[in-house]
Amino acid sequence: MTRVIRSVRTMTAWSLALHREGVVIGVVPTMGALHDGHRSLIRRARLSCDAVVVSLFVNPSQFGPGEDFSRYPRPTRADAALCREEGVDVLFMPSREAVYPQGFQTTVTVRELARRWEGAKRPGHFDGVATVVTKLFGLVRPHVAFFGQKDFQQSVLVRRLVEDLNLGVRIVVCPTVRERDGLALSSRNRYLTPVQRRSAPVLHEALQAGRTAILRGIRFGSQIGRAMRGVIETDPKVTVDYLAVCDPDTLEPLPRVTKSAMLLGAVRLGRVRLIDNLLVRLDGR
């Protein structure tokens, strides 16, 4: 039985009662439109926690003007069914007013980590993410939180947030789940037209071309970047937002790859924006 909780008070009371019994609580923070990527996070949470909470909140503060907040998919019934299927204990669905009540004034600001890549293209996005994640942790009081590697910059930032603000939550980052043709699962994939859907795997192909270049001995970030861009340019329907070769810990661009590199990419197909990444290790880890 999945219990649906909408009230923030009930959520925290439920959690504190379980804390007193020594129950380990895991949370999977989501904005809904759940897919097999979320399913894998829930399953991972079930493995290491006694109780699993899925939070579902389309957070307005992480969407910029002109972004897709109002049309973001909200298939709540299907989301609740997936949670039931996966044996989720609580589906936490607070209202906007509950999360940001009248008089709300305090937000979390992230510095350098939030300024590059996604942050540069979506100003204010990561402050919105950091604020809502901090709020969700305060409301759900989890011991562990599960995030997908697909949103790699977000996962680096959340780890930093937890450390900087001593939030006391263990962060687990789980591998990206992909379609058979390599496209990373994302709630936004459902915006793709059939024609765009056929083009969409080109982002993963570009990142793989970057990895192949590194494994063949190319070390300069600029050359690896060109190898990735060359793949995207084969499809005129796809435009590059950014393609980056960067340090996996700091997300700073790498002029030269020595140990490991995180390849990050974001592209647009019409109005749809897709992101993906690939970690390349040369250190044998």
Q: Is 132 in the site for ligand PAF (CB under 6 A)?
A: yes
Counting contacts by CB under 6 A, is residue 30 touching ligand PAF? Answer: yes
> Would you count residue 130 as binding ligand PAF (CB under 6 A)?
no
C-beta closer to ligand PAF: residue 92 or 224: 92
Quick check: 89 binds ligand PAF (CB under 6 A)?
Answer: no
Minimum separation from the CB atom of position 29 to ligand PAF (A): 4
Pairing label, strands 238-246, 90-92: unpaired
Judged by CB under 6 A, which of 5, 18, 31, 206 binds ligand PAF? 31
Report, in Å, the least distance between residue 191 CB and ligand PAF: 15
The contacts of residue 93 (CB under 8 Å, 6+ apart) are: 4, 5, 6, 55, 56, 57, 76
Q: Specify whether 35 is catalytic.
A: no
Nearer to ligand PAF, 29 or 265 (CB): 29
Query: By CB under 6 A, is residue 79 in contact with ligand PAF?
Result: no
Q: Which range touches ligand PAF (CB under 6 A), out of 13-21, 23-31, 116-124, 225-233?
A: 23-31
**Binding of ligand PAF by 276 (CB under 6 A):** no
Binding segment (CB under 6 A) for ligand PAF, from list 15-23, 44-52, 108-116, 128-136: 128-136
Residue 156 binds to ligand PAF (criterion: CB under 6 A): no
Stretch that binds ligand PAF, among 4-12, 25-33, 83-91, 189-197 (CB under 6 A): 25-33
User: Looking at 38, 125, 143, 204, which residue is catalytic?
Assistant: 38
Is the dihedral angle over the CA atoms 92, 93, 96, 98 positive or is it negative?
negative
Using the rule CB under 6 A, is 151 a contact of ligand PAF?
Answer: yes
Q: Is residue 61 part of the contact set for ligand PAF (CB under 6 A)?
A: no
Using rule CB under 6 A, residue 80 touches ligand PAF: no
C-beta separation of 162 from 143 below 8 A: no
Residues 138, 227: Cα–Cα separation, whole Å = 44
Does the footprint of ligand PAF cover residue 264 (CB under 6 A)? no
Q: Does 172 bind ligand PAF (CB under 6 A)?
A: no
Residue 245 found at the interface with ligand PAF (CB under 6 A): no
Q: C-beta of 185: minimal distance to ligand PAF in Å?
A: 12
In the bound state with ligand PAF, the residue whose beta carbon lies nearer, of 35 and 237, is: 35
Sign, CA torsion 249/133/30/25: positive
What residue ranges bind ligand PAF (CB under 6 A)? Answer: 29-31, 59, 62, 129, 132-133, 151, 154
Active site residues: 38
